[in-house]
Amino acid sequence: MRGDRGEHMKLKPNRHWIVMGPLAFIGAILLVATVVLAYTAFFTWLETSSGSPILTVWEVRGELPENASVIHLTEKDFEQHPALDSIIRGDKRDPGAWYSGDTPYGVRDKRTIGSAPVTYVERGVLIESFGPDVETRNQPYLEYDGAYYYFLTMIP
């Protein structure tokens, strides 16, 4: 009898553990996951609310200077720079009216083609690929389908 009662007494806390143990385990997993998700969401929100760089493309017309540097855009270029693709020939293309204004090549006839938000990495990669030569300030013309473009990126 005594032994029986002893075992009975022991079983009670054991059963308690069998139920509470896994519940606490799952609770801890969910708590950590929730904290991590909230932390990530908060920082993503902070990053996006401060804004991303904006890429704007202009088209220029008229005679090109003799020593002009021209980069002929290829399919591969568009594939590797989706933002440029969407502005020059995609859904972000929205050409404005022609006007005479300042360009990196002096005062020329130009029109805006479109803008798109880009990440800082994309901005850096675009400048390294087609941007102005930092040393000489020489900016290449980007040629596609007979039209000449240049771009600028604006940081918020």
Binding residues vs other proteins (CB under 8 A): 21, 25, 28-37, 40, 71, 74, 76-77, 80-82, 119, 121-122, 124-125, 127-135, 138, 140
With vertex at residue 83, the alpha carbon angle to CA 139 and CA 140, rounded to the nearest 5 degrees, is 10
**Smallest separation (angstroms) from other proteins to the CB of 155:** 15
Q: Which of residues 25 and 98 has its CB atom nearest to other proteins in the complex?
A: 25
**Smallest separation (angstroms) from other proteins to the CB of 4:** 20
Q: Which of residues 17 and 98 has its CB atom nearest to other proteins in the complex?
A: 17
**Smallest separation (angstroms) from other proteins to the CB of 100:** 27
Report yes or no: 124 and 115 within 8 Å, Cβ to Cβ: no
Q: Which of residues 56 and 132 has its CB atom nearest to other proteins in the complex?
A: 132
Distance of CA 29 to the CA centre of its chain: 31
Q: Which of residues 29 and 147 has its CB atom nearest to other proteins in the complex?
A: 29
Rounded to whole angstroms, how far apart are CA atoms 63 and 66? Answer: 9
Joined together, the tokens standing for residue 47 give 């990053």
**Smallest separation (angstroms) from other proteins to the CB of 95:** 25
Rounded to whole angstroms, how far apart are CA atoms 144 and 56? Answer: 16
Q: Which of residues 114 and 131 has its CB atom nearest to other proteins in the complex?
A: 131
**Smallest separation (angstroms) from other proteins to the CB of 41:** 9
Joined together, the tokens standing for residue 129 give 């690929």
Report yes or no: 55 and 127 within 8 Å, Cβ to Cβ: no
Q: How far is CA 147 from CA 29, 41, 63, 110, in A?
A: 57, 42, 11, 11
